[in-house]
Structure 1
Amino acid sequence: MQAMLIRDYGENAVFEAAEVEKPEVKSGHVLVKIAASSVNAVDTMIRKMGEELPLAPQTPAILGMDFAGTVEAVGDGVQDYSIGDEVYGCAGGLADLPGTLAEDIVADSNLMAHKPKQLSMQEAAALPLVAITAYEGLMRAGIKEGQKVLVHGGSGGVGHVAIQLAKHFGAQVFSTGGGEKQLALIEKLGATSINYKTESVEQYVDKHTAGAGFDIVFDSVGGANLTNSFTAAALNGQVATTVSMCELDLTPAHFKGLSLHVVFMLIPMLHNFKREQHAEILRNLAQISESGGLTPVLDEQRFSLAEAGQAHARLESGQGMGKVVIEN
């Protein structure tokens, strides 16, 4: 089969087209003909940092985690899938799991689900990693109807899904962005936009919560921005973040009694730990999407499998809106 390989990691790492052996289905897995995949920030980190990250596969490596496609073969012990089923998931591209920048993947059946019926393959491929992340963060924060939820980075991959899911669960949603396009997308998704470049945290907390703070802050920016999340959160509030690889003074969180939830959705893939939970979340997300509660935003530029390098560059440029998708 055709695949795009990384032979050496680094800032100047390039993808190389190659013919590789088509994988064979095995017990508990399914063979999927990939129609589309998408690029996530962690994919670009692996390409550049390689062995500096404990989750990087050995080279030559097939990167890519998200996919949507059609089942070609079903392994022993798999009950939920048949040949011809349209599926989506996040199942490779790290550690010993070959990735999705190829024509086919053998995916653990616990890391996938049936594709939302009304979504295209490209739309479905955009969802798994970011949607599982957003869903897990909101669930761990105990989201409830009527709460005020702040999403930092609402025009990004995780953020634009978190807005939609929070609205689906009945929350009143607010979100930060830093440009006209970003703010327009946030409004289109149904959240109240906040320009973090022109409004201080104190200003928008006063404006939207009368100074009380937000019940939940979903911080898809993280790092130093967590300090802003602590400031924006209500007393005994919940903060969920996807980026916490930093040193930070937790004193503000202490005096507010905040709960901090660190979401690292790759744990089931890396450690073969409760992978079935990802399948369950993906099934729930498909139902939400089919009910009209979740539609991914795709970047206006599309890429072929041979253009995987350009797709990575598009994501890294910061010029894209929504998810960068590759048509395999």
Structure 2
Amino acid sequence: MRAVLVKTFGGPETAEIAEIDLPAPGPGQVRIRNQALAVHPADVAVRAGFLAALLPEQPSFRLGWDTAGIVDAVGEGVEDLRTGDPVIGLTHWFATRNGTHGDYAVLPADAVAPAPAGLTAAEAATLPLNGLTALQALDAADLREGQTLLVTGAAGNLGHFAAQLARYRGLRVIAVARATDRDPLTALGAEFVEAGEDAVAAVRALVPAGVDAVLDTALTGAALLPAVRAEGTFLAVRPPAAPESERGIRIVVVNVRPDGRQLGEVTKLAEDGRLATRIAAAYPLDRVADAHAHLDRAGVRGAVVLTV
């Protein structure tokens, strides 16, 4: 089978197709015949070598966090899934360092959920990593209906899902993004603040006491703390962007975990039209280098997807 491997860190061309053995599912696992695979900034960071100091030395790394496809084989003890079932699933790449990008992927059955009806495989593939991260971040924020969530990088894939899920939960959402992203974000029901040096002051003008929580997908860090009320919550999506606490602000690093049950919640919201997906571009698997080059561009809106 084909798989996307990185043997040498570098430019998009170092994400290459190689032949590997077809994996067999073990107990509690399923093998998925992939149909679509999202390419994430985390894949780009690994390929480019930005995270090399955090990775063990090994001959190659297989990229990929999530998949949409068809169950091809089931391991011992798997009862809720059968061959032929359309599914989506997530692996935590930094825990396994063995990703999904290729013709097939093997995942724990409890990291898999039925694919959303009415969505294409490419659309479904955009849900697992960013949808689960957004859902788990909102759970960690533990806000009540009517409270205020500030989302930085709200036009990105994670921020876009988070803004939608927050509005579904009845939260007031303030979205920080580029000026060109105003209309799509206000259409989701968010209030808009243009990113830049004056963003915190603009947020305080809207919420003089400070927001109840911020989800910092733009990795702004400590500069955002003045926008948060005393004893509010700061949600960071990468440890280096998590600031030191001040004024009793709770600092939470959101480390996504595969969870088939929660992924099912994300699926249902997408089926019901409450969670809109976006695709910037789709490339066949053998053009994976082009997909990485596309994601390297600034200002990409929507997911870059590989089709299998």
**Deviating 4+ runs (over 6 angstroms):** none
Query: What is the alpha-carbon distance in structure 2 between the residues aligned to residue 57 and residue 85 of structure 1?
Result: 37
Maintained 8 Å contact 1:302/1:326 = yes
**Which runs of 5 or more residues in structure 1 are unaligned?**
269-274
Instruction: Return the TM-score normalized by structure 1.
Output: 0.87
Task: Identify unmatched segments of 5+ residues in structure 2.
Answer: none
Q: Which digits, 9 at most, give the CA deviation of each residue in 1:273-311, with x for residues without a partner?
A: xx5xx1121012112222322122211x22110111111
**Deviation of residue 56 (structure 1)?**
6.3
The answer to whether the Cα contact below 8 Å between 1:66 and 1:125 also exists between their aligned partners in 2 is: yes
- Aligned partner of 1:294 in structure 2 is 275
| Contact 1:91 1:97 survives alignment (8 Å) | no
Match of 1:272 in 2: none
| Deviation string, structure 1 residues 146-194 (Cα, Å, up to 9, x no partner) | 11111111011110010011011111111011231x2232223321221
- Compared with structure 1, are the counterparts of its residues 37 and 177 closer, same or farther at alpha carbon in structure 2 (3 Å cutoff)? same
SS of match in other structure, 1:254: coil
User: Contact 1:98–1:105 (CA<8 Å) still a contact in 2?
Assistant: no
CA contact (8 A) 2:185 2:192 kept: yes
Corresponding position of 1:162: 162
Taking a change above 3 Å as real, the CA distance of residues 20 and 162 of structure 1, as seen in their structure-2 partners, is: same
Does structure 2 conserve the Cα–Cα contact (< 8 Å) formed by 1:69 and 1:86?
Answer: yes
CA distance in 2, matches of 1:321, 1:56: 32
For residues 23-62 of structure 1, the aligned pairs below 5 Å read 23-49=23-49, 52-55=52-55, 58-62=58-62
Of the three residues 266, 283, 296, the one matched with 1:285 is: 266
TM-score by length of 2: 0.92
Contact 1:5 1:60 in 2 (8 A): yes
Supply the RMSD in Å over aligned alpha carbons: 2.2
Residue type at the aligned position of 1:314: H
Query: Is 1:13–1:47's contact at 8 Å kept on the other side of the alignment?
Result: no
Residue 123 of structure 1: how far off its partner (Å):
1.0
| 8 A Cα contact 1:63 1:92, kept in partner | no
In 1, the alpha carbon distance for the partners of 2:241 and 2:163 equals 25
**Residues 56/110 of structure 1: CA separation in 2 closer, same or farther (3 Å cut):** farther
Residues 102 and 305, structure 1, Cα contact 8 Å, conserved in 2 = yes
In structure 2, the partner of 1:84 is 84
Aligned position for 2:202 = 203
Within the candidate set 231, 246, 249, 1:254 is matched to 246
- Give the secondary structure class of the aligned counterpart of 1:245: helix
Distance change (3 Å), C-alpha of 1:91 and 1:198? closer
Out of 206, 224, 227, the residue aligned to residue 229 of structure 1 is 224
Is the contact made by 1:148 and 1:173 (CA closer than 8 Å) also made in structure 2?
Answer: yes
Write the distance in 2 (CA, Å) between the matches of 1:110 and 1:64.
18
The one-letter code of the counterpart of 1:89 is G
C-alpha separation in 2, matches of 1:39 and 1:10: 16
Q: Percent identity?
A: 29
* Structure 2 residue 238 is the aligned partner of structure 1 residue 243: yes
TM-superposed CA distance for 1:104, in Å, is 0.7
AA paired with 2:200?
V
The residue aligned with 2:8 is 8
